[in-house]
Chain A
Amino acid sequence: MTRATPPPWLLLALASCATQGGVSNGGVNLPSSGVGPFRPLVDGELVPQAVTPYVLGDSQAQYREPDVVGTSDDPTSAAVWMYAVATVKGAAVVVRTRADDARSFYGDAADNADTTHPRHEPPTVLAASDPWEGTDLGGPCAVRSGGQVLLYYGAAGGIGVAASPDGDGLTFTKHGAPVLAAGGGGGWETSAPRAPSVAVFPDGTWHMLYAAGDSIGEATSADGIAWTRVGADPVLGPSAPVDPSTLGPGEQPPFDEGGVDDPVIAPQTNVDGRLQVRVLYTGYRDAAGSMGSAPRRSAIGLAGRFGDAGALTKQAAPVFTVQLHERAPGFFEYAGGSLLYVGEDDTSQSTTQPFQGIGAAYAPVGGRLPAPLPFPATP
């Protein structure tokens, strides 16, 4: 029997049809706790006049300690209010500003670079007025609940609260006395409570994390007004110091061995129904007072726990660090991702003489925010 053989050109032609190249995919829609790691905003994510990653800066006001809350319950909306501490006439007050895209804030230096409108200044919504408050306020935290806005803040004598009954978030009436006063905690509270962060858990209980000394404690409430400290110990403390001589090449000591501060509590219910309490915080490398008048080295860390009670565990590495003394985080989460706001050295005008400003970062790091919206005309 005669056997035929296939022509070689046929095999070559068939084989050469295959490899045509393509765009690599994968790594999209990855699961995330939504709390980092974060990357600073980049060009194209802020208006062209802005200097990335700063979203609220003014060399006079020295904006810092941001807290951001959505203006509605719409999970797809990026319209937010930001409450921040500013220096006005030598005192620390709480101001309010607004952005429709969570980035272009009324009163930012870039907003005021536009001379076609009068200068925009975020209005003061809270200033020290009661004797227990001293002269300066700090650590604002706004909670929208039942049509009103509650604004918690730190002062000399502890933590206070003010209410905006009509829900506009601009006009507030103070409660009067501190809701968490100094001197009522355990021995670890070596200073008055400060930097409150409040959230309502799924069971309706109000939970507050606050800083005191070099640690973070917790209190609970049924109505957001009457608070009771939880336990005698903090829920998060600084990491144990590490002897530098024991570190290997490239290894760094814990970023928060000098103290933890400025908690931001963000509970969520996971896909399996578990309550996960996520907490962003400032971790200080250096202990308070150890750097003289120079700012302490710091970074933003992540801690958490499952359930509505108990101590927090934390990640060894920070979720955001740019070595600009970033501290006092604010957090806003919506369908488009998560935004982190921090007070940090604003080097937009001078790299050697920075002032305090508020920068923003985004997660997931591989994502990109859409083009920014214009600055709003009102705060």
Chain B
Amino acid sequence: MRRGSLFLVRGLATLVACGLSLAARGARANPLDVFGFGSREAAMGGAVSADVRDFSASYYNPAGLALAHGLEVSVGYFRADHALSMNGKDGGVDPVAGMAGGAVVPGKIYDFPFAVGVGFHIPDHWLTRVRALPQTQPRWELYDNRNQRLWFGVDGAISPWPWLQLGGGVTFMAATKATLDISGHIALFSPTDSSLRHQVDADLTTIAYPAFGARAELSRQLALALVYRGQFSMDLNVAANVKAGAGLGRAGDLTTLTIGLQTDTIDAFLPQQVVGGIAWTPAQDLHLNLDATWVNWSAYVPPVSRITTQLDVPPPQGGWPAGIKPPTVPAPTIVVPIEVHDTVVPRVGVEWRALARPSWEGFVRAGYEFAKSPIGAQTGSTNYVDRDRHSISAGLGVRLVAPGAVLAGDVRFDAHAQLSLLPTSTTIKSDASDPVGDYTAGGHIWNVGFMATVGF
């Protein structure tokens, strides 16, 4: 390739990658933020933004895909069980479990290493879950509902220079819009005599969010990474329209009831993030990584429904019968602003190739993450319960080198276990007439999983 063309391709690649980053409004879903993506990465505390090259780069740093040596397919499973309690009683927060995996397909554009990666997390129980609770109801805000959703990402990366990798991608999520129409007859004092017809029209609309990452290799021992993950919100908008005759029995409408109900909810909101990472390889068998993630939690929007109601119930001729009081329009929801703060989440990880044989290698990994709670003290009427989280993790890995004639690449098996500790502390209310009152909250989360990767 001529030098001019080479420069042009490098420049275009850089511009496209930077354009993606500027256009990015959102990036990643929630379960991966808390529990990691891939056993190697989870075992290292998620501190891999400058040291990732497999399918999990779709989440940690798309630029790492450009480091892939060959086609790889990974499949695994993880399960996180919550033991989160309030006042010493388990809150029944559902586990997060499901398959995780992906593939990396490397190639070249002209002479530049290029790769496409896909990653997925498919939950066991729900592809997504909607839960909009009253703002006064205690709930584990960051663990109860946010992590129950599907995640799917498609990314591409290029290495315009040997020391630089740039990557970007798109993450797919879904938002919901629905309309519910009800018509018929309502028997005010005998609900079983009502005859109603309903029609539901619901759409799951796709939301696609780009992401961007960069990795710079300063030397064989030192690499830096910078990743941007933008904010996104999953909206849930439901409109219900009721137009029905209302009476005392099966027949004889007293009046016609018309109700319009519109609820608008941010079902899940992920704030934008910026990750800076360092990967240091002081020896051939040792990787030491450090990541720091700035999370713009102050922009967080809690999942509280905003309900708008329109009601039209004209009185019947002669007025309302004795004992019947027409319904009135409920007051609109007053959302109490949530107090949240930006946080910086430090992560450290280490990987040691403990055994190196001609046909196989063995790895030992460990990591730590500290996620300070972004949510302010819940002294008022709201109860967005959260606590600081310390996560310690460990894992093992085995790599079989060219295990058979069919597989010229390698086969890797990785497993991890992570324990997150949320120290118990007391939420103290300022109002003695608070219906919830003071309470303690804390607990722990176990996260275990495994991953198998085949490199072709």
Contact = CB atoms under 8 A, between A and B. Distances in A.
B407 A4 contact: yes
Contacts of A6: 73, 454, 456
B323 A315 contact: no
A243 interface: no
Contacts of A314: 433
A4 B137 CA distance: 54
Interface string A30-62: 111111110000000000000000000000000
Contacts of B92: 25-29
Contacts of A347: 323
B432 A277 contact: yes
A323 interface: yes
Given A2-B408, A4-B406, A30 B91 contact: yes
Interface residues of A, number: 56
A351 interface: yes
A36 B436 CA distance: 9
B323 A351 contact: yes
A274 interface: yes
B75 A29 contact: no
Contacts of A19: 98, 122-127
Interface stretch (B230-238, B239-247, B437-445): B437-445
B77 to A, nearest CB: 8
Interface stretch (B19-27, B58-66, B324-332): B324-332
Interface stretch (B46-54, B138-146, B414-422): B138-146
B358 to A, nearest CB: 18
A26 B328 contact: no
A290 interface: no
Contact of A27 (B126, B137, B325, B331): B137
A14 interface: yes
A319 B435 contact: yes
Interface stretch (A74-82, A173-181, A206-214, A297-305): A297-305
Contact of A352 (B137, B322, B435): B322
Contact of A250 (B86, B329, B431): B329
Contacts of B331: 248-252
Contacts of A348: none
Contacts of A30: 86, 91, 137-138, 436
A1 interface: yes
A250 B435 contact: no
A245 interface: no
A24 B127 CA distance: 12
B187 to A, nearest CB: 14
B384 interface: no
A26 B139 contact: yes
A18 interface: yes
A19 B98 CA distance: 8
B202 interface: no
Given A250-B332, A302-B433, A351 B438 contact: no
A125 to B, nearest CB: 33
Contacts of B109: none
Contacts of A17: 99
A35 to B, nearest CB: 7
Contact of A33 (B73, B309, B435, B440): B435
Contact of B434 (A33, A251, A351): A33
A15 interface: yes
Interface of B: 70-71, 73, 75, 85-87, 89-94, 98-99, 101, 103, 120, 122-127, 129, 131, 133, 137-139, 144-145, 189, 309, 322-323, 325, 328-332, 406-409, 426, 428, 431-440, 454, 456
Q: Considering the complex of A and B, which 5 residue pairs feature the smallest CB-CB distances, nearest first?
A: A22-B125, A31-B439, A304-B432, A29-B89, A33-B437
Given A11-B73, A351-B189, 11 more contacts: A14-B75, A26-B131, A26-B145, A27-B92, A29-B90, A32-B437, A33-B434, A34-B437, A303-B433, A313-B431, A351-B322
21 contacts: A3-B408, A4-B407, A4-B408, A19-B126, A21-B125, A26-B91, A26-B92, A26-B139, A27-B137, A29-B89, A29-B92, A30-B86, A30-B137, A248-B331, A249-B329, A271-B438, A272-B438, A276-B437, A302-B435, A304-B431, A352-B322
